[in-house]
């Protein structure tokens, strides 16, 4: 019995060491400004314990990533089938914009009625468009929504394929650049701001080695976010090289971003409201507040902060 116990203990130790040697697999959006603190964190000590790959929550769902960034919209979309998804921190907040063509007769938001609007379907950008339309008593059926990648918006506007686009940066800024003086912009942070989150799954939270690595990553992102807030230009060369966006464009759009490295007090409220929109799109019953609360895990952030003030 003693020998068997010793062998079992030895095997457990070996397995734990093997598990701890595996780097944390982090899927991060390689096209957006929101990812800046993650790129900076990966350059420091935390980078030795992680591997970066392009992607988001879908890689969590298929278990090819341990951690992933995405807007709050995507955890709502994916958690219907994968309820083990968890938000552990909001890395960035972004103020979206609708860019429209003055020459199409658009002077105010209500003039979008009957127009074609390009936006990535089923994303935070489409949700933003829907919310903005409702401020002038319009809804999505009152316009023609054209599914469109953010990277394609500027070219579509230049060709005249659509009268307006709605999306995140740098797509909105590129669209303004494509139109020049013909561009008119609609934006209201009070209506919506994207919550670009760091997400994981319950299995990672329950794995001691992976959890430790996740705590270290979150701690590194908290530190990197301080640098991003206080010395933003220092990080632009790295960000530019990672997302292939000119530094000048990054500098122009920077005003539309915040990097809180926290869990916003209204995160659950945002999820509850947005769930109504998504449930209608997916033709299902909306989940209640208590169920959506389970998607938020604040223990990793609290552990990373170690009792320090946020």
Give pLDDT tens digits for 238-259.
Answer: 999 999 999 999 999 999 999 9
CA angle 96, 97, 98 (to 5 degrees): 140
Separation of CA 256 from chain center: 14
In angstroms, rounded to a whole number, what is the distance separating the alpha carbons of residues 284 and 290?
A: 17
Q: Which residues of the chain fall below pLDDT 50?
A: 1, 3-20, 309-310
Q: Do the Cβ atoms of 99 and 169 come closer than 8 Å?
A: no
Q: Do the Cβ atoms of 72 and 87 come closer than 8 Å?
A: yes
- Looking from the CA of 142 toward its CB, the CA atoms found within 13 Å total 15
Q: Do the Cβ atoms of 82 and 61 come closer than 8 Å?
A: yes
In angstroms, rounded to a whole number, what is the distance separating the alpha carbons of residues 123 and 277?
A: 11
Q: Which CATH number fits domain 2-93+195-305: 3.40.50.300, 3.30.1360.200, 3.40.190.10, 3.40.50.40?
A: 3.40.190.10
For the structural domain made of 97-186, what CATH number should be given? 3.40.190.10
Q: Give pLDDT, residue 49.
A: 77
Q: Give pLDDT, residue 197.
A: 98
The partner residues of 198 in beta bridges, in order of sequence, read: 69, 89
Q: Do the Cβ atoms of 29 and 252 come closer than 8 Å?
A: no
In angstroms, rounded to a whole number, what is the distance separating the alpha carbons of residues 4 and 82?
A: 39
Q: How far is CA 15 from CA 8, 10, 19, in A?
A: 11, 9, 6
> Is 97-186 the same fold as 2-93+195-305?
yes
Q: Give pLDDT, residue 106.
A: 98
- Looking from the CA of 219 toward its CB, the CA atoms found within 13 Å total 18
Q: Give pLDDT, residue 297.
A: 98
From 256, 104, 297, select the one nearest 173 (Cα to Cα). 256
Give percent above pLDDT 90 in the chain. Answer: 89
pTM of the prediction? 0.90
Locus of tokens 């539309």 = 256
Residue spans of the domains in the chain: they are 2-93+195-305, 97-186
């Amino acid at each position: 019995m003693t020998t068997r116990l010793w062998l079992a203990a030895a095997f457990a130790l070996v397995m734990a060491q093997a598990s701890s040697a595996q780097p944390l697999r982090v899927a991060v959006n390689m096209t957006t400004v929101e990812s800046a603190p993650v790129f900076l964190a990966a350059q420091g000590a935390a980078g030795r314990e992680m591997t970066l790959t392009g992607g988001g929550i879908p890689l969590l769902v298929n278990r090819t990533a341990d951690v992933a960034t995405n807007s709050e919209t995507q955890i709502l979309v994916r958690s219907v089938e994968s309820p083990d998804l968890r938000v552990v921190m909001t890395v960035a907040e972004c103020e979206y914009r609708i860019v429209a063509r003055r020459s199409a007769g658009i002077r105010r938001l209500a003039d979008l009625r009957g127009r074609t609007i390009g936006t990535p379907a089923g994303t935070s950008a489409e949700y933003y468009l829907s919310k903005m339309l409702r401020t002038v008593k319009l809804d999505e059926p009152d316009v023609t929504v054209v599914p469109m990648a953010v990277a394609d918006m500027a070219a579509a506007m230049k060709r005249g394929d659509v009268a307006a686009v709605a999306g995140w940066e740098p797509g909105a800024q590129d669209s303004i650049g494509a139109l020049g003086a013909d561009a008119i912009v609609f934006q209201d942070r009070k209506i919506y701001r994207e919550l670009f989150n760091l997400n994981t799954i319950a299995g990672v939270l329950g794995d001691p080695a992976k959890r430790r690595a996740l705590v270290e990553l979150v701690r590194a992102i908290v530190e990197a976010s301080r640098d991003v807030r206080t010395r933003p230009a220092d990080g632009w060369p790295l960000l530019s090289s990672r997302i292939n966006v000119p530094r000048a464009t990054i500098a122009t759009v920077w005003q539309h971003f915040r990097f809180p490295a926290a869990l916003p007090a209204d995160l659950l409220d945002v999820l509850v409201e947005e769930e109504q929109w998504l449930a209608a799109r997916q033709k299902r019953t909306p989940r209640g507040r208590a169920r959506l609360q389970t998607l938020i895990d604040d223990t990793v952030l609290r552990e990373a902060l170690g009792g320090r003030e946020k």
